[in-house]
Structure 1
Amino acid sequence: MGNRIAEVLAPSRLGTGFRWLLASSWTSNLGDGIALAAGPLLVASLSRDAFLVALAATVQWLPPLLFGLVAGALTDRLDRRLIVAAVDVVRAGVLAVLTLAVATDRVSIVAVLATLFVLATAEVFADNSSQTLLPMLVAREDLAVANARLQTGFITVNQLAGPPLGAALFTVGAAWALGAQAVVVLLGAVLVTRIALPPRERSGGPRTKLRHDVAEGFRWVLGHAAVRTLVLTITIFNVTFGAAWSVLVLYATERLGLGEIGFGLVTTVSATGGVVGTLAYGWITRRVTLGDLMRVGLVVETLTHLALALTRSPWVALPVFFVFGAHAFVWGTTSITVRQRAVPQHLQGRVGSVNLVGVYGGLVVGSGLGGVLAQHGGVTAPFWFAFAGSAVFVVLIWRSLRHVAHADEQPGPAAG
C-alpha cells in the first residue's frame, strides 16, 4: 500500500531526486503554511491599525521586488541546491530568535515587522533557486505532472493543513506557532541536501557582471510572447489581489465575524478548492487551450473580488474562497509549466526572477493601496478597487492571452 501511494504521489519515472525535492518542498510548505496564519495573527495581536496590518503584508512582499533580480542571477551562477539549504538554515535561526523574544514577552510591532522583512528576504533566494531544480531533475514532457505534484503539496500542507495548525498553535501561544515553523523549515533544509543534481552546462565565455546577467534575463522575457504575457498579467492582477488580501485578516475577523481559528478556515477552504483543481487539472488541460484557461481564470478572479465586496455572510464568502482556490491552482500550475518548458536551463533563475519581481511588485503596490483604502473607505474598499481594476485589465489583455498558447491555441499539457 505504501509503495502504491508513493507511486501515485511521485511516479518512479520522475526519479529519486524528484522525490527528495517533493519531500523538502512539502515540508517547507508546512512551515510557510503555519506562518500564513501565525504571522498576521501576531501582528493583529500587537496592533489593530489597518495600515500596520497591511504594512505587515508589504514588508513580506517587498524583498522579492528589491532582491529578486539579484537572486535570479546568483541562482544561475551558484549551486542551486546549496542556496536553498543555506538560506533555509538562516530562516530557521531567525525564527528561533523571534520565538524566544515572543516567549519572553520582549517583542514589539516594529521588531515583528523587521523580522518578517528578513524572513521574506531569505525566502526570495530559497524560492527562486528551488523552482529551478525541477527542470534539472525531470524530463520536459513530465514537467506538468511534476509541477502538479509540487502544487498539490503546496495546497494540502501550505494552504490546507498549515494555516489551521498555525492558528491553533497561536491560540495556545504565539511562541509555539513560531517554534514549530522553525523546526519544520530546518527539516526542509536537511531534505534538500539529499538531492543529487546532474552536472550543469557552463558557459565557455568570460565571467560577466551581475548587471549583464540580469539584463539578459529581461531581454529574453521581452522577446518571448507567451512568458511576457504571463509576467504582465500576473503583475497587474497582483496589484488588485494584493490590495484585497492585504487586509484579509481584518475582513475575515471583522466583516465576516470569524475568530482566529475562523481566519485559518478561510485559507483552508481556498486550499480545498485547490485540491479539486488538482484532481481536475489533467482533464481540464486536455480539453481547454491555455489561452482560454487564462481567460476563464481572470474572469473568476474578477468576480471573486466583487462577491467578497458585496457579502457579509461567511456562508457566501467561503464558497467564493473555494472557487478562487481552484482557480489559483490551475493558473499557477499552468504558468509555471509554460515558463519552465520555454526557458533554457541556464536562464531559468533569471527569467524566474523577472516573473518574481512582477508578482511581488504587484503585491507591494497593491498592499500599500489596500492599507490606505481600508483606512479611508473601510475594509471592503480594497475589494471594490480589486474588482474595478481587474475588470478593466481583463478587457485590455483578453486578445493578448493567445500568446500563452504560443499562438497556435493547442491544448495544454496534461497532468497525470
Structure 2
Amino acid sequence: MPAPRGSFAALWASQASSNLADGLLQAAAPLLVATLTRDPLAVAGMTVVQFLPWLVATLPAGALADRMDRRRILTAGNWLRAAGFALLAVALANGGRHVALLYAAVFLAGCAETLVDNAALTIPPRLLPRERLERANGRLFATQSVINTFVGPPAGAALFALAASAAFYTGAVAFALAGAAALLLPALRPTEGERERRRATPTSVGQDIRSGWAHFWRHDLLRRVAFISAAINFFGAATGGLLVLLVTGPYQVPTSRYGLFIAVPAAGAIAGSLLAEHVVPRIGGGPTTWLAALAPAASYALLGLGHDTPLALAGMFGAAVATAMNQIVVSTLRQAAVPDALLGRVTAAYRLVVLGVVPFGALAGGLLGRGVGIRATFVAAAVGLALAALPLASRVTTRALRDAETGLPRREVQPHP
C-alpha cells in the first residue's frame, strides 16, 4: 500500500528541524567546554560522551525500530532530547557551568539519538519505491549538511556569544518541532506479514539483536564498507574533537568565527549530496569509496602542516564532497539489499561498527594532543587513515555494489530467526 502524499515531506521536515538543533549544539557544546577548560583530553571528552551511546544503546534501538511504530520512535526521541537540553539551558542560565553537567546532557541526548537515527534511516524504503531512494537520500543528506553544519553552527556560535543558555534553549525548541513534524507521518508499524511471523514464532529482543547482527556480518560487502566508514570516523573523531583548539589556537581564528570551519565543509557535503546521483553513476561506487578515504586524509595533513586558513578550508571542502557521496552510496546499498523486517537491526549493527569507534578515536586524539601536540595529531590521523582504509577500499568494486543493490528484492528475503 503506497504511503500517503506528503509523507516524505513530513520526514524531511522532521529531519531538518532535528538537524538544526544538532547544528546549533555542534558549535555551542565545544565552545562551552573550551570556556571551562583548555585540556585537550577534557575537550575530546565531549566527543566521547556524544558517541558512547552508539556502543551501549544502538543494538537495542535497532531491535525496537523493527518491533515498534517508527513514527512514535521519532516523536518520543526528539521530545526527550528537547527536554534534556531545555533543562541544561535552565542550569546554565542559573550559573550551573560544569563540564560534568554538559557531559551528562550530551550522553542522555545521544541515547535518544540512537533511537531517532536508526528509525529514520529505515523509513524511506517504506515511503518510496526503490528507484527513488538514491534521490531521496541525496535530498535528506543535502538538507542535513545545509542545516546541521552550514546554518546551525554559525547560528549556534552567534547565540553562544550572546548567552550560553540561548543556544541550548533554541536547540530544545528545534528538537520539539522535529518531534511534532514526525506525528504527520503515517503509522510505520511492522508489516502484517512480519507481525504474523512474530505471533507464530515469538522472539526476544536479544534474539532479534543476534539475528540482525548475523545478517549484517554475513553480508560481506556491507561489512566491508562499514569498516571503511569506521576508519574514516575513527580518525575524524581523533581530529574533530581538537578542531576547536587548532582553530582558536595556532590558526588564531576568533571564537565568533569558529562556525566557519564547520560551515565551509558543510558546503562540500551539500555539493556531494546533490551531485551524487549524477557523479556516482559516471565514476562508479568503487572509486567513490577510494575518494572518501583519500580526501579526508589529505585534509588532515593540510590542517596539521599548514598555516593558511583558506587552503585548510579548501581541503575540508573536498573531503566533505567525497564523504557525502560515499554516504549516499552506502545508505542506498543498505536500504536496497536488506529486507524491511531486518532493516532496523542491520542498520543498528552497521552503525555500531561505524559510530562505535568514535569515542575511541576521540580518546586517542585527546591523548595524542596532550602528548605530542595538536598539529602532530592531525598529521598522524592523515597517515593512519590512508594506511587503514585503502586496503579495504580496494576490495569494494562498482560491480559488487550494483549486484548487491539489484539482487533479490528486500521483501522476498526472509529474516533469520
The question of a shared fold, defined as TM-score above 0.5 by the shorter chain, is answered with yes
State the Cα distance separating 1:282 from its structure 2 match.
Answer: 2.3
Tell me the distance in 1 between the aligned counterparts of 2:141 and 2:389.
25
2:62 counterpart letter in structure 1: G
Tell me the distance in 2 between the aligned counterparts of 1:390 and 1:15.
44
1:356 equivalent among 340, 351, 354: 351
State the Cα distance separating 1:207 from its structure 2 match.
Answer: 1.9
2:387 equivalent among 386, 389, 392: 392
Tell me the distance in 1 between the aligned counterparts of 2:164 and 2:123.
34
Tell me the distance in 1 between the aligned counterparts of 2:261 and 2:277.
26
1:70 equivalent in structure 2 = 60
1:110 counterpart letter in structure 2: A
1:190 matches 2:184: no
2:148 equivalent in structure 1 = 158
Tell me the distance in 1 between the aligned counterparts of 2:339 and 2:23.
31
1:3 equivalent in structure 2 = none
1:131 equivalent among 109, 113, 121: 121
Q: 2:248, 2:255 within 8 Å by CA — same for their partners in 1? A: yes
Q: 2:227, 2:354 within 8 Å by CA — same for their partners in 1? A: no
Q: 1:25, 1:188 within 8 Å by CA — same for their partners in 2? A: yes
Tell me the distance in 1 between the aligned counterparts of 2:188 and 2:40.
48
2:249 equivalent among 234, 237, 254: 254
1:70 counterpart letter in structure 2: P
Tell me the distance in 2 between the aligned counterparts of 1:25 and 1:360.
19
Q: Deviations over 1:188-220 (max 9, x none)?
A: 100000111466322423221122111111111
Q: Which moved more, 1:98-107 or 1:191-200?
A: 191-200
2:413 equivalent in structure 1 = none
State the Cα distance separating 1:227 from its structure 2 match.
Answer: 0.9
Tell me the distance in 2 between the aligned counterparts of 1:363 and 1:286.
30
2:136 equivalent in structure 1 = 146
State the Cα distance separating 1:242 from its structure 2 match.
Answer: 1.2
Q: 5+ residue gaps in structure 1?
A: 1-12, 412-416
1:21 equivalent in structure 2 = 11
1:122 equivalent in structure 2 = 112
2:51 equivalent among 42, 61, 71: 61
Q: Any residues of structure 2 matched to 1:138-287 within 5 Å, and which?
A: 138-197=128-187, 200-201=190-191, 202-203=194-195, 204=197, 205-287=200-282
2:345 counterpart letter in structure 1: R
Tell me the distance in 1 between the aligned counterparts of 2:292 and 2:88.
38
| CA 1:407–1:282: 2 relative to 1, 3 Å | closer
Root-mean-square deviation (CA, aligned residues, Å) is 2.0
Q: Secondary structure at the match of 2:259?
A: helix
Q: Deviations over 1:5-27 (max 9, x none)?
A: xxxxxxxx994100111111111
1:37 counterpart letter in structure 2: A
2:30 counterpart letter in structure 1: P
2:352 counterpart letter in structure 1: V
State the TM-score, normalizing by the size of structure 2: 0.92
Tell me the distance in 2 between the aligned counterparts of 1:14 and 1:336.
23
Tell me the distance in 2 between the aligned counterparts of 1:128 and 1:286.
27
1:268 counterpart letter in structure 2: A
State the Cα distance separating 1:395 from its structure 2 match.
Answer: 3.7
2:41 counterpart letter in structure 1: F
2:351 counterpart letter in structure 1: L
Q: Deviations over 1:287-341 (max 9, x none)?
A: 1111121112211122122221111221221111111221221111111111111
Q: Any residues of structure 2 matched to 1:333-344 within 5 Å, and which?
A: 333-344=328-339
* Same amino acid, percent of matched pairs: 31
1:33 matches 2:23: yes
1:325 equivalent among 308, 317, 320: 320
Q: Secondary structure at the match of 1:43?
A: helix
Q: Which moved more, 1:77-86 or 1:231-240?
A: 231-240
State the Cα distance separating 1:261 from its structure 2 match.
Answer: 2.3
1:112 counterpart letter in structure 2: L
1:140 counterpart letter in structure 2: R
Q: 5+ residue gaps in structure 2?
A: 407-417
2:163 counterpart letter in structure 1: G
1:378 equivalent in structure 2 = 373
Q: 1:14, 1:138 within 8 Å by CA — same for their partners in 2? A: no
2:153 counterpart letter in structure 1: P
Q: Secondary structure at the match of 1:400?
A: coil
State the TM-score, normalizing by the size of structure 1: 0.92
Q: 1:269, 1:322 within 8 Å by CA — same for their partners in 2? A: yes
Q: Deviations over 1:42-78 (max 9, x none)?
A: 1111111111000011000101111111111111111
1:190 counterpart letter in structure 2: A
1:103 equivalent in structure 2 = 93
2:274 counterpart letter in structure 1: L
Q: Secondary structure at the match of 2:157?
A: helix
| CA 1:39–1:330: 2 relative to 1, 3 Å | same
1:105 counterpart letter in structure 2: G
1:308 equivalent in structure 2 = 303
Q: 2:337, 2:404 within 8 Å by CA — same for their partners in 1? A: no
Q: 1:92, 1:183 within 8 Å by CA — same for their partners in 2? A: yes
Q: 1:136, 1:197 within 8 Å by CA — same for their partners in 2? A: no
